[in-house]
Amino acid sequence: MPSMENEGSEVSRAEEIKNQANEAFKAHRYGQAIDLYTQAIELNSQNAVYWANRSLAHTKLEEYGSAIQDATKAIEVDPKYSKGYYRRGAAYLAMGKFKEALKDFQQVKRICPNDPDATKKLKECEKAVMKLKFEEAISVPESERRSVADSIDYRTIKVEPQYLGAKIEGDVVTLDFVKKMMDDFKNQKCLHKRYAFQIVLQMREMLQALPSLVDINVPDGSLLTVCGDVHGQFYDLINIFELNGLPSEENPYLFNGDFVDRGSFSVEVILTLFAFKCMCPSAIYLARGNHESKSMNKIYGFEGEVRSKLSETFVELFAEVFCYLPLAHVINQKVFVVHGGLFSVDGVKLSDIRAIDRFCEPPEEGLMCELLWSDPQPYPGRGPSKRGVGLSFGADVTRRFLQDNNLDLVVRSHEVKDEGYEIEHDGKLITVFSAPNYCDQMGNKGAFIRFEAPDLKPNIVTFSAVPHPDVKPMAYANNFLRMFQ
């Protein structure tokens, strides 16, 4: 019968496309792999493997919402397919949803009782959930919490005579100090805790005084450079400064969030950026990203790295200071710069962003959450977020927001791009990402944008990754997450 024949050829064609998708996946071309798995699914939607494979490709692109949807579909197609539960559990974990992940790994164990890998992951997941319950049990209510900064007096910390690293003389962070500190970091030397405390405490005071939306004024003939995610890639940060000059009053930068996590030199990155801000507040502007939060830092490495290189007190101190970071910037009343994106409702004014009480961990919904988590989409309107947090928004949403606020352009970061940047929404939205060869495996370029006043035309500069010492990304990440790398 022709229809049977036709069906058979579609099934075998789907299998061919799936094999091509697997090749693209192996080459770290995850976007291409997703497109190919999608074609295979369109030809044969009853194959759980295609859904589970596409779920894994979404996970690699940090699209955990889509990964969970696909893994759930794989489970619907074949409720006994252990990989469906496995993939969904891994995506839940990546979002910090340990309790949901635990249920999926328990199911994997039921289906594969003798699989040592499933047993190991289930044990780790149980440990993570127990730890979470313990932390919840001993946590102090927000209203009673005291600032950890109040308990620190860095002046009483002795600097041993054998310490030969960078030193701050008195209260002033100088350019000489910052250069020496960066050189020490390049050679994998640590900064003395006294000076690290001094920088972070000074930073806290400075950030506390800022509004949630900061206006930046760039005089005519002057430049401002906007950088996207750096994600703990210290040696690439140094390269940006070599290509574009050190931050100064004449050469200011705006770093648009996600300074830490994933890359294993996050402490070096954050202390460098903070030190430049202490040295000259108008030399550098810093915005909060979704990774400047406790829940992300717990999973993706910053917390472990701070504990290893500094101390437990610093873990608390950084968490507090991250809550003081502004949420967005406006350049010359024309360019809106934010880490994630726009909103689930129309009519949001800059005054609404200014009015956000940002001194907290990011909530799971509302304006603050959307600023940190949302992503653009190629079609109009709004849709669910592929990340499972925030939303996706189209060109019409961008256009209305710009019109409502008399702005020309949205610049955001938050997403890895092959060329380091992408221009979307009829030229009204630019994504910039400044961590090249992200996590040592994506092969992408990095980029930064130079805006010159008065016309503020974006001049995009791309660059490639530079070598770094042999410390793998995620070296300090949650033990459990490292199992999935």
Query: Are 266 and 302 a contacting pair, CB within 8 Å?
Result: yes
**What are the distances in angstroms from CA 28 to CA 22, 83, 443, 462?**
10, 20, 8, 20
Side chain identity at 359, as an amino acid letter? Answer: F
- Contacts of residue 117, defined as CB under 8 A and 6 or more positions apart, other chains included, come to none
pLDDT tens readout for residues 198-257: 999 999 999 999 999 999 999 999 999 999 999 999 999 999 999 999 999 999 999 999
What is the pLDDT of the chain when averaged over all its residues?
A: 94
**What are the distances in angstroms from CA 334 to CA 371, 403, 452?**
18, 11, 12
- Which tokens hold the place of 350? 């800059």
- Contacts of residue 448, defined as CB under 8 A and 6 or more positions apart, other chains included, come to 225, 226, 227, 228, 240, 244, 432, 434, 460, 461, 463
State how far the Cα of 30 lies from the Cα of 57, in Å rounded to an integer.
5
CATH topology match: 2-138 vs 159-482: no
State how far the Cα of 323 lies from the Cα of 437, in Å rounded to an integer.
29
Phi, psi of 240 (to 5 degrees): -60, -45
pLDDT tens readout for residues 188-206: 999 999 999 999 999 999 9
State how far the Cα of 88 lies from the Cα of 131, in Å rounded to an integer.
21
**Domain residue spans of the chain:** 2-138, 159-482
State how far the Cα of 28 lies from the Cα of 323, in Å rounded to an integer.
34
pTM assigned to the model: 0.94
DSSP string, 7-30: HHHHHHHHHHHHHHHHHHHHTT-H
291 is a catalytic site residue = yes
What b/e string do you get for 292-331 counting C-beta neighbours within 10 Å, with b at 16 or more?
A: bbbebbbbbbbbbbbeebbeeebbbbbbbbbbbbbbbbbb
| Architecture of the domain delimited by 2-138 | Alpha Horseshoe (1.25)
DSSP string, 30-44: HHHHHHHHHHHHHH-
State how far the Cα of 334 lies from the Cα of 410, in Å rounded to an integer.
9
Say whether pLDDT at 435 is over 90.
yes
Lowest mean pLDDT among 76-85, 102-111, 116-125, 155-164: 116-125
- Which tokens hold the place of 459? 């001049």
> Angle 82-94/64-77 helices, nearest 10 degrees?
160
State how far the Cα of 158 lies from the Cα of 138, in Å rounded to an integer.
32
Say whether pLDDT at 1 is over 60.
no
In three-state secondary structure terms, 326 is: coil
pLDDT band at 2 (very low <50, low <70, confident <90, very high): very low
Say whether pLDDT at 485 is over 70.
no
In three-state secondary structure terms, 457 is: strand
- Which tokens hold the place of 397? 């949403």
**What are the distances in angstroms from CA 14 to CA 21, 42, 362, 416?**
10, 8, 42, 29
pLDDT tens readout for residues 76-109: 999 999 999 999 999 998 898 888 999 999 999 9
pLDDT value of position 231: 98
State how far the Cα of 449 lies from the Cα of 95, in Å rounded to an integer.
30
CA 415 to chain centroid, in Å, comes to 8
- Which tokens hold the place of 352? 């609404």
- Of 133, 64, 52, the C-alpha closest to 95 is 64
State how far the Cα of 457 lies from the Cα of 455, in Å rounded to an integer.
6
CA–CA–CA angle 376, 378, 384 (5° rounding)? 55
| Architecture of the domain delimited by 159-482 | 4-Layer Sandwich (3.60)
How many Cβ atoms from other residues are within 10 Å of residue 159's Cβ? 12
pLDDT band at 121 (very low <50, low <70, confident <90, very high): confident
DSSP string, 117-157: HHHHHHHHHHHHHHHHHHHHHHPPPGGGPPPGGGG--GGGS
- Of 83, 78, 19, 81, the C-alpha closest to 55 is 83
- Which tokens hold the place of 71? 């893994």
End-to-end CA distance of the chain: 47
Catalytic residue among 58, 192, 231, 291: 291
State how far the Cα of 170 lies from the Cα of 1, in Å rounded to an integer.
88
- Of 291, 299, 297, 290, the C-alpha closest to 316 is 297
Query: Are 177 and 167 a contacting pair, CB within 8 Å?
Result: yes
Tell me which DSSP letter residue 438 carries.
G
- Contacts of residue 458, defined as CB under 8 A and 6 or more positions apart, other chains included, come to 409, 411, 430, 449, 450, 451
pLDDT tens readout for residues 247-302: 999 999 999 999 999 999 999 999 999 999 999 999 999 999 999 999 999 999 99
Query: Are 192 and 308 a contacting pair, CB within 8 Å?
Result: no
pLDDT value of position 3: 60
pLDDT tens readout for residues 300-324: 999 999 999 999 999 999 999 999 9
State how far the Cα of 202 lies from the Cα of 207, in Å rounded to an integer.
9
- Of 214, 143, 159, the C-alpha closest to 192 is 159
